[in-house]
Structure 1
Amino acid sequence: MAHSPPPLTGIRVLELAGLAPGPFAGMMLADYGATVIRVDRAHPSSRHVDPSSPTPSSTSTTTTTPSPPPPPPPPPTADLLTRRKTSIAVDLKSPAGRALLLALLPTVDVVIDPFRPGVLEKAGLDPTGVLLRRNPRLIVARLTGFRRPGNNNDSSNKYAAMAGHDINYLGVAGVLGMLGRKAGKPYAPGNIVADFAGGGAMAAFGVVLALLERERNGGWGQVVEANMVDGSAYLASFLRLGMGMGRNNNKDGAGGGGGKGEVEGVWARPRGENLLDGGCPWYDTYETKDGRWVAVGALEERFFGKLCEGLGVDPAQFPAPREDRRGWPHLRMLFTAKFKSKTRAEWERVFDGTDACVTPVLEQAELRQMGFDQRPPVTLKSSPGWAIADGDRDTRPAAEGQGIGVEGEGWEEKGLAPGEGGEEMLARLMGWKKGVHYAVENGGLVLIERARKSKSKL
């Protein structure tokens, strides 16, 4: 089947190098066709080479002067979200480096700003006062952890300038307080919720919305604001609304519509006592005979019946109707003992192909051994994104349902060194040549015209 190019083909993105959320937004855009150039900090050992620097072949063989030691390698980066990106290294504190970035803007659609509030402004790159004036079509996606400073009545202002990480944003968003077991401390679920779902993915969504709006408004760009606190809080909308669906004050009665008939919200009780947070015995994980785990999610009554059938238990023998919380401790002990009686593989043979909502809890290493391949989160049937691929795979036909491109597992990424592939990309997109349009100074690219002006003032 013939496909159209990925939907973001032709969109050009400058991703100012940052930590996980910004790179994730850039990777999402790249996976759907955008050309993404990461702007790294200049470093003496970047991939950019000054052609005027002496090389071993250009030095005299008769000299006894020892060659200077090579510069140290670039500092290690934790950024593994580099799929389909290239890099240029630029010193944004240098007037000539900043001038190079500004010279790129007229040909760029999106800039991703991952910095804390005020950083771009201090660098002389104010989004509205500088960037959008240089290119009115530009979309500047600004992604912060906490909310950017707002009006004086905003109680969240005190966090705006603070450092933070996923766990902090979840805490301020009221999400972390929802996660964890009964009588236990709030549990941090890795950095998936705030950094990636509430941060990077929301920022990418905002970029796509702004691109759509630009098509409708005559070509005007805008600033897109996203932050991980509001992104995480938005993701928790169902839970927050579930807290307000009514409360059952009968502590011993049923939850979720049982007992004396009151309607209780899906998240109306304290942490760890609700239907979807492990408080309910038929929505939990259980250990198997071989020390592995299964996930049980038999919420609906007909699915609960299939669960009981597979476990070999009769609901008619339970001490109370399943909705009555007073019987939940008994059910949990019963399910715990039953699942411990067989290995996970044995339970898979029992429940696979049924509607009992019982699945294995697979470890990442198991997935890879099973040949699990990561696929794009959304497939557009006529214009799919690129297939997920390992870094150095040979070109092969794309897998069915993955989209066009190179087939691969998506388990490895070689990373991206500062300056890697950037000069080739500048030649392709801008027609720029080293030594004509830009030069290399201290491991970073500078605009030649501006560099000459700066040197003439010395």
Structure 2
Amino acid sequence: MLDMTRLAPGPYGSMLLADLGAEVIAIGGGRSGLPVPALSRGKEFITLDLKADEGRAALRRLVAESDVFMEGFRPGVADRIGAGRAELGEINPRLIYCSVTGYGQTGPLAGRAGHDINYLAIGGALGTFGPADGPPVPPLNLVADFAGGGLLAAFGIVGALYERERSGHGQYLDAAMVDGVLSMMGMNFADWGGESLPGRGSGVLAGSMPAYRCYACSDGRYVAVGALENAFFANLWQALDLGEVPNHFDPANWDMITEQLDASFGTRTMAEWTEFFAEIDACVTPVLEPRELAGFRQISQRYQGFRTDSVPAVPVYSRSAAQVGETDTEDATERVLGRFGIPPEDARKAVGSAGDGAVKGLRWPPV
């Protein structure tokens, strides 16, 4: 797999595929930027000057023997640097070519720049996040960048590879982050404006329903309550010894339920509540910070040696387990091109001036 993407979405997608055994060669150079350290494992990094004949020749050599090519340029840029779909497809008709962009290859915004927050906004998700009396709040860059971008691209690539086994042909994937957001919002679009999701900050899953929200503990930390179903809510209410179990789906009871739960959870620390609910099936969990994950029993037992600087390879396979590869961002151009029959002298020419500042250090976020 050849990866010419940057920032987060594409590199996350190629990391997922590297965890599953793909040989990922990340191609950089010139103004392409530096790799994200957390998304670089299991990959080799090379530098090519695609303005030079030698650089383009090296790219064509790689493409001829590759299965997947992924790029994250604005529409038209890959064509201008000799890495477009049509040109590479002629070299290798079995190539799966994936473009990862925010808005896709068509439409009035196709050529515009953007980030996760913009794709969430255009995709109808951002307007549903956050409190009713404040501005929308993006959930980091998890939804559009990682889920709607990298994960969807990886899923599409695997699907295209599977299809190629039947047809024998490669194909083009237009993986747009807005498309991913639109797809993931299907259930919530259907609920929007109704009883379960009347507006931002209001509704069953929006944080206003007392059975599905976070509560402050005596130490200022929080527990997350997801006691939606009747049985779970009854277990919660009875465990707290709050009397007769009310109808928690009736909005007329929400103020009373919230007041009772606020008062109850405020009497103990988060750690104490974690222990209290350890054996009670009420969907109550601590709100952990990243630094606490390695010490939490579910994480530590399922992923022995868990570290936040090297997240687990997922999902868990019964036979062909995904593997966390080593992270080595040193420039491997000569070594990689040598495997494709390109001698060191030609490899150095392929790097050319693009090697100035490329793949020599890591920096995130970009500045």
Fold-level match, TM-score > 0.5?
A: yes
Change in Cα spacing, 1:437 to 1:283, as seen in structure 2 (3 Å) is closer
Structure with more contact order per residue of length (Cα contacts < 8 Å, sep ≥ 6): 2
- What is the CA-CA distance between 1:42 and the residue it aligns to? 4.4
**Paired residue for 2:27?**
39
**Paired residue for 1:359?**
285
- Whole-Å Cα distance in 1 between the matches of residues 319 and 60 of structure 2? 36
- What is the CA-CA distance between 1:146 and the residue it aligns to? 1.0
Q: Deviations over 1:235-273 (max 9, x none)?
A: 1112112338xx4xxxxxxxxxxxxxxxx4x32x11111
- Contact kept, 8 Å, 2:333 with 2:347, in 1: the verdict is no
- What is the CA-CA distance between 1:40 and the residue it aligns to? 0.8
Choose which of 87, 91, 97 in structure 1 pairs with 2:45. 87
- Whole-Å Cα distance in 2 between the matches of residues 306 and 437 of structure 1? 66
- What is the CA-CA distance between 1:102 and the residue it aligns to? 1.1
What TM-score, normalized to structure 2?
A: 0.88
Alignment of structure 1 residues 327-342 onto 2, 5 Å:
327-342=253-268
Amino acid at match of 1:200: G
Choose which of 376, 381, 385 in structure 1 pairs with 2:322. 385
- Contact kept, 8 Å, 1:22 with 1:113, in 2: the verdict is yes
Q: Which runs of 5+ in 2 are unaligned?
A: 357-367
- Contact kept, 8 Å, 2:192 with 2:199, in 1: the verdict is no
**Paired residue for 2:110?**
160
- What is the CA-CA distance between 1:415 and the residue it aligns to? 5.9
Q: Does the alignment pair 1:311 with 2:273?
A: no
**Paired residue for 1:302?**
231
Alignment of structure 1 residues 415-430 onto 2, 5 Å:
416-417=329-330, 419=331, 421-428=332-339, 430=340
Q: Deviations over 1:369-395 (max 9, x none)?
A: 455624322122121211x36x5xxxx
Choose which of 93, 96, 110 in structure 2 pairs with 1:139. 96
**Paired residue for 1:15?**
3
Q: Does the alignment pair 1:214 with 2:202?
A: no
Q: Considering only aligned residues, what root-mean-square deviation do their CA atoms show, in Å?
A: 2.2
- Whole-Å Cα distance in 1 between the matches of residues 30 and 179 of structure 2? 33
Q: Does the alignment pair 1:25 with 2:13?
A: yes
Count of aligned residue pairs for this structure pair: 344
- Contact kept, 8 Å, 1:19 with 1:79, in 2: the verdict is no
**Paired residue for 2:313?**
376
Q: Does the alignment pair 1:178 with 2:128?
A: yes
Amino acid at match of 2:188: L
- What is the CA-CA distance between 1:422 and the residue it aligns to? 3.5
**Paired residue for 1:243?**
192
Amino acid at match of 1:111: F
- Whole-Å Cα distance in 2 between the matches of residues 215 and 78 of structure 1? 33
Change in Cα spacing, 1:348 to 1:100, as seen in structure 2 (3 Å) is same
Change in Cα spacing, 1:335 to 1:40, as seen in structure 2 (3 Å) is same
- What is the CA-CA distance between 1:158 and the residue it aligns to? 2.6
What TM-score, normalized to structure 1?
A: 0.71
Change in Cα spacing, 1:379 to 1:78, as seen in structure 2 (3 Å) is closer
Amino acid at match of 2:128: M
Q: Give me the identity figure in percent.
A: 40
Question: Secondary structure of 1:80's partner?
Answer: helix
- Whole-Å Cα distance in 2 between the matches of residues 138 and 77 of structure 1? 24
**Paired residue for 2:343?**
433
**Paired residue for 1:442?**
353
Question: Secondary structure of 1:313's partner?
Answer: coil
- Whole-Å Cα distance in 2 between the matches of residues 160 and 443 of structure 1? 27
**Paired residue for 1:195?**
145
Question: Secondary structure of 1:168's partner?
Answer: helix
**Paired residue for 1:270?**
199
Amino acid at match of 1:308: W
Question: Secondary structure of 1:183's partner?
Answer: coil
- What is the CA-CA distance between 1:77 and the residue it aligns to? 4.6
Amino acid at match of 2:74: R
Between Structure 1 and Structure 2, which shows a larger proportion of helix residues?
2
**Paired residue for 1:9?**
none
- What is the CA-CA distance between 1:75 and the residue it aligns to? 6.9
- Contact kept, 8 Å, 2:129 with 2:138, in 1: the verdict is yes
Choose which of 47, 66, 76 in structure 2 pairs with 1:108. 66
Q: Does the alignment pair 1:225 with 2:174?
A: yes
- What is the CA-CA distance between 1:176 and the residue it aligns to? 0.5
- Whole-Å Cα distance in 1 between the matches of residues 256 and 217 of structure 2? 18
Q: Deviations over 1:34-83 (max 9, x none)?
A: 0000001149xxxxxxxxxxxxxxxxxxxxxxxxxxxxxx9755453111
Larger radius of gyration: 1
Amino acid at match of 2:166: R
Q: Deviations over 1:282-313 (max 9, x none)?
A: 10001101111100000011100110122221
Q: Does the alignment pair 1:284 with 2:213?
A: yes
- Whole-Å Cα distance in 2 between the matches of residues 88 and 325 of structure 1? 58
- Whole-Å Cα distance in 2 between the matches of residues 443 and 325 of structure 1? 62
- Contact kept, 8 Å, 1:97 with 1:444, in 2: the verdict is no
- Whole-Å Cα distance in 1 between the matches of residues 335 and 328 of structure 2? 18
Question: Secondary structure of 2:232's partner?
Answer: helix
- Whole-Å Cα distance in 2 between the matches of residues 358 and 340 of structure 1? 14
Change in Cα spacing, 1:298 to 1:270, as seen in structure 2 (3 Å) is same
- Contact kept, 8 Å, 1:146 with 1:169, in 2: the verdict is yes
Question: Secondary structure of 1:275's partner?
Answer: coil
